[in-house]
Structure 1
């Protein structure tokens, strides 16, 4: 890549935007929530237990309803997921994560629309979804996401 003054200016502006993000209150709250989550022993135990049951869930998914432990594993996964989600540290982390994602989405949108109003900007994954009625996953609607 040949560096031009335009490229250097764009890189300088990218550095400015990244510093803006890093110095923001949103990013600071995200880091604090992440550190609190990493230090919380109960949350880490819940996450580890969820990871174990999730591995069993992935095995069950290969066979679907024909797996002998299908109902038990499905109920266990939902219960563990709820336990993880109800933990205060996990909930605070998820809120901070969503706030940071929203900030990043806003910045991406501002940059994209400054180039052209016709650019599709992924916001919470909505730009990647087909709004014409199909699910877009290629399963023919068999997955139930349509």
Structure 2
């Protein structure tokens, strides 16, 4: 390992510590803890996970499955309940803010090496790539 690599490793650890001790990370950890302690929210998440399994089973047969409409409606209803639960919504917001911070750090690091480096954002509308299916999609993606 060269001296440059050691310095780079130390700086990356410093950056990781800065992100981990940021107010955004603190809010994420706090909201995660609150969510984990919320019995009602955990019950709702568990019910949604069970219903999601049923939904995936129904989706294999589509509208021809006898429970297609019932299960689809129940999944949408449970999802709406999850989205409006205060602790779940707070956690999702904190999680998104932390994700945004990490993406921005990745983008700064990548672009400091080369503007040509693509940094996935997790959102295909904002990814800089012209590729919709990934470069492993059979060679038809059209990436330059």
C-alpha distance after superposition, 1:81-100 (max 9, x if no partner): 11111100000000000100
User: How many pairs align?
Assistant: 133
Equivalent residue, structure 1, for 2:48: 50
Q: For the residues of structure 1 that align with 2:99 and 2:24, how far apart are their CA atoms?
A: 10
Question: Greater relative contact order (Cα 8 A, min sep 6): structure 1 or 2?
Answer: 1
Task: Give matches, 1:1-146, under 5 Å.
Answer: 3-126=1-124, 127=127, 130=130, 135-136=132-133
TM-score (norm 1): 0.85
SS at structure 2 position matched to 1:119: coil
CA 1:93–1:115 in 2, change beyond 3 Å: closer, same or farther?
same
SS at structure 2 position matched to 1:136: coil
How much is the aligned-residue C-alpha RMSD, in angstroms? 1.7
Q: For the residues of structure 1 that align with 2:37 and 2:14, how far apart are their CA atoms?
A: 32
Q: CA deviation at 1:130?
A: 4.2
TM-score (norm 2): 0.86
Q: Which runs of 5+ in 1 are unaligned?
A: 139-146
Contact kept, 8 Å, 2:118 with 2:129, in 1: the verdict is no
Q: Which runs of 5+ in 2 are unaligned?
A: 138-144
